[in-house]
A and B are shown apart, each in its own frame.
Chain A
Amino acid sequence: MGTVDRALVRDVSAIALASGVVGISFGALAVAAGMPVWLALFMSVVVFAGGSQFVAVGVVAAGGSPVAAVFAGLLLNARHLPFGLAVADVLGRRWPTRLLGAHLMVDESVAFALAQPDPARRRAAYWWCSGLLFVGWNLGVTVGSVAGSAVGDPATLGLDAAFPASLLALLLPGLLPPRKTSDAAPPVDGAGAEDKAARARRVALVGAVIALATTPFLPAGVPILLALLAVGVALR
């Protein structure tokens, strides 16, 4: 493992730890909503999408039907389709890695892969992030579902701020103009990189505005998909 990978694993471990603690609260919630421990863990292994798991269990706990719960969860997870197009090269063409890599696809691993400069590091980032998150999330759910109501609210630890902050930290370098420092590599295509960052900035801003403006009126997940329209500002 090189030094780059060591830094990568350290960064990814921080997210996996946070996700583990959120997993603890999901486990506790699922058991409180009447799910047996094995079923809560089974769900987090086969679905492995925290947001949709909270939403689905929440809908049922609030008296909604299982159909409504599944529909709400699927709506939230539809974003994985366009994510998959973007990280298809990372998953390669071998079937075993592709089938496994697709199951492990989460927001964080997509963002981590996107933040890397070259294909080898994209692959390393995707697999380390996905793998450690899978372990962290499921360990957390196991602990939470066994500990049950003894578990506190992860918001007390501020972990609800950790998820958006981590995604933002990964996005930011691609949105800022490239640094003009003497120790940086000589600019191969300085103007091109600046244009690219400016385009990314516009798309990011418009996407965020679309999602925020539609969130009060639409079910969770749909505003994220509508944000895709923001790519239109880069088409001109």
Chain B
Amino acid sequence: MTLYSILVLAAGTYAFRLAGPLLSDRLQVSARAQELMSLATIAMLSALVATATLTAQGGFAGWARPAGVLVGALLAWKRLPFVVVVAAAALTAAGLRLAGVP
């Protein structure tokens, strides 16, 4: 990566980040629109969860990672503390890899 290409990536990324707050000035944000934007965020975040859990470079990520996320999900569902959820997910995946699961 050259300095110039990094600057272009940074500028473009910042434009994406700032566009939302700026656009929201122009839009009349009704309660309904606010709810739809929350749902849009939920859609994208759950898409991120799904792809980050199951895929790597467009293919299957292997079993250790989804197993770790599943353990984390069960603990989150049981309302265990957030730190425990994250640590358990990582430890499960790490343990499985140590045992030879990809």
Residues of A within 8 A of B (CB): 10-11, 14-15, 18, 30, 33, 35, 39, 42-43, 46-49, 52, 56-57, 60, 66-67, 69-70, 73-74, 77-89, 91, 98-99, 101-103, 105, 107, 110-111, 114, 155-172, 174-176, 196, 199-200, 203-212, 215-216, 220, 223-228, 230-231, 234-235
Contact = CB atoms under 8 A, between A and B. Distances in A.
Contacts of B72: 161, 165-166, 168-169
Given A35-B1, A46-B10, A234 B39 contact: yes
B90 A205 contact: no
B21 A98 contact: yes
Contact of A81 (B20, B55, B76, B82): B20
Do most interface residues of chain A lie in helix, strand or loop, or is the interface mixed?
helix
Contacts of A46: 6-7, 10
B28 interface: no
A14 B69 contact: no
A47 B69 contact: no
B97 A158 contact: yes
Contact of B1 (A60, A81, A167, A175): A60
B94 A227 contact: no
A162 B52 CA distance: 10
B21 A161 contact: no
A80 B36 contact: no
A77 B46 CA distance: 16
B19 A84 contact: yes
A88 to B, nearest CB: 4
Given A156-B94, A168-B73, A102 B17 contact: yes
A231 B86 contact: no
Contacts of B4: 66
Nearest to A204: B46
A209 B46 CA distance: 9
Contacts of B85: 165-166, 169
30 contacts: A10-B83, A14-B87, A30-B1, A46-B6, A52-B13, A56-B1, A70-B5, A70-B9, A82-B20, A83-B20, A84-B17, A88-B24, A156-B94, A161-B72, A161-B92, A162-B86, A164-B49, A164-B50, A164-B89, A165-B73, A166-B89, A167-B49, A168-B49, A171-B42, A172-B77, A175-B42, A204-B43, A206-B43, A211-B50, A216-B55
Given A204-B43, A226-B47, 18 more contacts: A14-B83, A33-B1, A46-B10, A48-B13, A56-B5, A60-B1, A74-B12, A74-B13, A80-B20, A86-B40, A165-B90, A166-B85, A168-B76, A204-B45, A207-B44, A207-B46, A209-B50, A230-B39
Interface string B22-36: 011001000000011
Given A114-B41, A227-B47, A165 B1 contact: no
Nearest to A58: B57
